[in-house]
Structure 1
Amino acid sequence: MQKPTTKRIWRCVKYYLELCLAKGQGSDTVRNKRGGLKKFYLWSLERNVTRTDQIDLDLMDDYAAYLNSYRKALDNEPLSSAQKRNLLTYVKIFIKYMFIKKLLPTNTLDGIELPSKGEQIPKALYTVEEVEVILEQPLLFGIKGLRDRSILEFFFVTGIRRGELAKLNIDDIDFNTGLVRVHGKGNKERLVPISPRGREWLAFYIGKVRPMFAFIGSGKALFLANNGKRYMPGKLSDMASQYVKLAGFDRTGACHLFRHNTATTMLDNGADLRHVQEMLGHASILTTQLYTHVSRKKLTQVYNDTHPSAQGCSGLF
């Protein structure tokens, strides 16, 4: 790739995003960076800031103030602490790489203070019963519904990310051991178990459903879209959201809701935190620990076993 010969912000951003892809960062990650940097770029243009050497700590203070006052168009809600931190971090890392690549003489944002991202509790489909209602919805839609049912079942039984599911090939599935080889973030592979019910749906899909979509260009891709090509992550979200809404639930992040359910249900049923971390492919156990906040069954049991008010103390009468 060719280094920019100009310090114009967006030309440098495009070069930076090419670097991110070359380093093996996931398409979703790079897409998020592009969106965040575009937001900053458009804001900068309104202030006649067009070059990377104009980006300094004072400018970022103004940008942080803008983010604090920003309200989302859909619901007029403010950005969360994590969203504001991420948007500032995108710019910070971008400038750092411009310095590393000698496109800037100094790293002008080296001393930036980022806001705390707070502690976000993951949203989840809290009950297995809710998940089962969602899994029933595709069965109303013929052969495409059977394919979609197989995909949602796979999300449910493995807890993998949508980008990981989209990358799966047929030979990543080992029916003898009941394991699937998942190509995770940072080019890290892991083995994830598949339940007997999950294997039954997968075998049915591969044997009866996939051939209805496949053509010579399908290759070894496991899950195929209507055009016979590999399912794209964004389309997986659209599909899953459709069935979540049909089931009567109004929750965002449909694909991730299955992942959240996998984590919380396993923790509720006594799974070790390290095992859940390995299954979900979290680099840090701190990420997995967030799910303990929504592990309601275990919290309720501990409360009933230890709190004096739950130990048979007399009531009002």
Structure 2
Amino acid sequence: MMAEGERAATRYIEFFTAQIRNPNTRAAYARAASAFFGWCEQHGLALPAIQPVHIATYVEQIGRELSAPSVKQQLAAIRMLFDWLVVGQVVPHNPASAVRGPKHSAAKGKTRMPTREEAKALLASIPTDSLVGLRDRALIGTLLFTFARVGAALTMRVEDYYPIGKRWWVRLHEKGGKHHEMPCHHSLQEYLDAYIEAAGIAQDRRSPLFRTAEGRTGRLNSQAMSQPDVYRMIQRRAEAAGVATKIGCHSWRARGITAYLENGGLLEHAQQMAGHASARTTKLYDRRGEQISLDEVERITL
């Protein structure tokens, strides 16, 4: 891309800095664009020479190694980038617009989630005699009881936990700059109250709610935790609790939604609580059918 001239290079950089605001989307699209143009360079394709057949060949090639959703995401990144280049008059047309991605439909999400017993055991195993333990329990509780994405939880400030009347509420900073507010579950309120009091941050309203620890000192600094920090923490807590299921940050969103539905909650309410635009997305997190399937499999006896 840089070899195509200063104008193309500038437009390319502007795409990621000015057009895409979500940092996770920006990183994913940057990887996709870098991989595609690296492939073009290997095949001697300059930017003006790229045609739909080249993009279709690339999509077919990566489809042998990547899942259908990953291929669709990479194609979406390439298509969106070329749209940006067309608007900037760098190229005359979008060669990716006519290329179709692989078909993909899913009735159930792939996110692994802990069983009810594993979730309870993990939360109970977190030591509450340390500030880091109280923080970890409060963070996992936030993911579980609010169905929050980890990114939404990590951007919370202390002021995003607030009272309305006699009830406390939480405010999540979701994708696209949207704020999602909901009442705080009584268990989560207990976790957050204990953590905030121990951390002494109640008056520091504009500061990050979930903060990083200073090495092994047990003290917290003023910096917000990162997503890799949370993933590593969950792995440590799961190992200590003897959780066999391979879980991550998103696992608690699935566990919370499934628990809600198992206890008689309505799908449309779960959709609203999770901040999903479509009930079909919420349904991907509903794992009640897995237990039914297991019960039916056990009927196979000789």
Q: Does 1:296 align with 2:289?
A: yes
SS at match of 1:229: strand
1:64 to 59, 62, 69: 59
CA contact (8 A) 2:147 2:253 kept: yes
Give 1:269's aligned residue: 263
CA contact (8 A) 2:59 2:101 kept: no
Give 1:231's aligned residue: 225
How far apart in 1 are the matches of 2:102 and 2:236?
35
User: Aligned letter for 1:267?
Assistant: L
Report Cα offsets for 1:204-246 as digits up to 9, x if no partner.
11111355xx998x94221111242122233222322332343
SS at match of 2:212: coil
CA 1:148–1:159: 2 relative to 1, 3 Å = same
How far apart in 2 are the matches of 1:49 and 1:161?
40
Q: Does 1:6 align with 2:7?
A: yes
Give 1:196's aligned residue: 186
Give 2:252's aligned residue: 258
2:199 to 189, 192, 209: 209
Q: Does 1:45 align with 2:44?
A: no
How far apart in 2 are the matches of 1:252 and 1:297?
16
Report Cα offsets for 1:253-276 as digits up to 9, x if no partner.
611000011111112222111111
CA contact (8 A) 1:98 1:104 kept: yes
Cα distance, 1:114 vs structure 2: 1.4
SS at match of 1:240: helix
Give 1:174's aligned residue: 162
Pairs within 5 Å for 1:130-209:
130-139=118-127, 142-175=130-163, 176-209=166-199
User: Aligned letter for 2:195?
Assistant: Y
How far apart in 1 are the matches of 2:233 and 2:114?
20
TM-score w.r.t. the length of structure 2 is 0.82
Pairs within 5 Å for 1:60-139:
60-70=55-65, 79-119=66-106, 121-122=108-109, 123-139=111-127
CA contact (8 A) 1:268 1:297 kept: no
Cα distance, 1:174 vs structure 2: 2.3
Cα distance, 1:180 vs structure 2: 0.9
CA contact (8 A) 2:131 2:198 kept: no
CA 1:141–1:118: 2 relative to 1, 3 Å = farther
CA 1:86–1:139: 2 relative to 1, 3 Å = same
Q: What is the total number of aligned residue pairs between the two structures?
A: 285
CA 1:184–1:234: 2 relative to 1, 3 Å = same
Give 1:307's aligned residue: none
Does 135-144 or 101-110 show the bigger shift?
135-144
Report Cα offsets for 1:105-134 as digits up to 9, x if no partner.
212222111111231622232522111222
CA 1:254–1:298: 2 relative to 1, 3 Å = closer
Cα distance, 1:94 vs structure 2: 1.2
Relative contact order, CA 8 A, sep 6+: which one is greater? 2
CA contact (8 A) 1:210 1:223 kept: no
Cα distance, 1:297 vs structure 2: 7.7
SS at match of 1:221: coil
- Percent identity over the alignment is 22
CA 1:238–1:115: 2 relative to 1, 3 Å = same
TM-score w.r.t. the length of structure 1 is 0.79
SS at match of 1:182: strand
Report Cα offsets for 1:130-169 as digits up to 9, x if no partner.
1122224432883322221221122111110111011111
CA 1:189–1:140: 2 relative to 1, 3 Å = closer
User: Aligned letter for 1:197?
Assistant: S
SS at match of 2:181: strand
